[in-house]
Amino acid sequence: MHKRVVITGIGGLCGLGTNVPAIWGEMRAGRSAIGPIVNSELHDLKIRVGCEIRTLPEHGIDRKQAVSMDRFSLLATIAAREAAQQAGLSLHAANTYRMGSIVGVGVCGWEAIEESYRAILLEGKNRTGIFTVPKVMPGAAAGHVSMNLGLRGPVFGITSACSSSNHAIASAVDQIRLGRADVMLAGGTDAPLVWGILKGWEALRVLAPDTCRPFSADRQGLVLGEGAGMVVLETYEHAMARGATILAEIAGAGLSGDASDIVAPTVEGPEAAMRFCLVDARLNPEDIDYVNAHGTGTKANDQIETAAIKRVFGDHAHRLSISSTKSMHAHCLGASGALELIACVMAIREGIVPPTANFRETDADCDLDITPNVARERKVRAAISNGFAFGGTNAVLAFKAV
């Protein structure tokens, strides 16, 4: 039986804002939050721009739990609390064994790793902080969400670089479809704006020196950001029975591997993921109105994604509204797909397609409607969100109105 899985709550924070209404407001306005990094020690870095959360919101997380968290886990827990509150979940011992948490992360707890290296190698200390190991582990975010909300069902982390969010959400949908849970909190988180991570990305020569310009002919690369996004997922029947407000339906997911190169994407891998997603969602290409593109702002990614979209959608590709919100919140790695889910769900609910900001010049190889600079009114019946990652791991989600 193909169970219907719906979204009843969304939480998020990134450089655009520290809750979903604030994030969506900035997306609609086409305002980019990319700028100089001020909260991290940059030392000898040449690239000094990113998308920071300048000040964290008051979150109410107990200090005893907070001291054992790295920043990526803290961001996920803040987002999960917002999502749970919007969904109006009633959490008690009798039902929490049917509720779980799956959180995707791209680079794990690098704040704690960097603090440890500095303490040992530069300051001459003979041991690291006592919570270094639990702070660093990639599954920590899922564990902290579970502990904070009391979720006792399926709980684990997923890591697949830039498609981690979409893989986590797809996996959560599977837990519900398989009958292992009634409710899942799922999404992604990352806090990569630390010197060691930025230094590594700088060596790849894919970082833009000023800002992210997806699909623009003068694009110079991606920009890194931090953030988290979480959603409450449940069966349609479960949501209706408890009187929850349904925001949208997750209609399907498509997963694929390039089996080609650790960093260079193919056309065939993303194409396959989009095709699989449409089949799983029981949607035809012409049913899709909006594509939230992976759209990193690198020369290769944007051209390849454009080609893959054309293969999947044929003539309908030129009737799609497409945008990359990474132009505003930057590439938040493991959190990107969850933040882009906000754009898809709100586009469906409000009939507004958020723009691709910072666009300046048309690229003949990226000749689809990428909604340059200004949001557009359009009825969105269904949308897909693309997530493609180093390692050739692809995950695409489909959403539709209920």
| Residue 331 annotated among the catalytic residues of the structure | yes
Element (H, E) at 400: strand 393-400
DSSP string, 26-91: HHHHT----EE--SS--TT-S--EEB---SPPP----HHHHTT--HHHHHHHHHHHHHHHHHT---
Going by the DSSP 8-state scheme, the letter that residue 118 receives in this structure is I
Residues 6+ apart with CB under 8 A from 364: 217
The separation between the first and the last C-alpha atoms of the chain, rounded to the nearest angstrom, is 19
Spot the catalytic one: 14, 51, 162, 332: 162
- Of residues 144, 167, 238, 294, which has the active-site annotation? 294
Diameter over CA atoms, the chain: 64
For residue 269, CA distances in Å to 87, 280, 289, 389, 398 come to 35, 17, 22, 11, 17
Q: In degrees, to the nearest 5, what angle opens at C-alpha 338 toward C-alphas 233 and 366?
A: 130
User: DSSP secondary-structure letter at 245?
Assistant: P
| 59 annotated active-site | no
Q: Give residues with Cβ within 8 angstroms of 143, minimum separation 6.
A: 73, 155, 157
Q: Are 100 and 155 in contact (CB under 8 A)?
A: yes
Write out the two tokens for 286.
Answer: 């012409």
Residue 294 is a catalytic residue:
yes
Report, in angstroms and rounded to the nearest whole number, the Rg of the chain calculated over CA atoms.
20
Q: Of residues 108, 331, 344, 366, which has the active-site annotation?
A: 331
The residues carrying an active-site annotation are 162, 294, 331
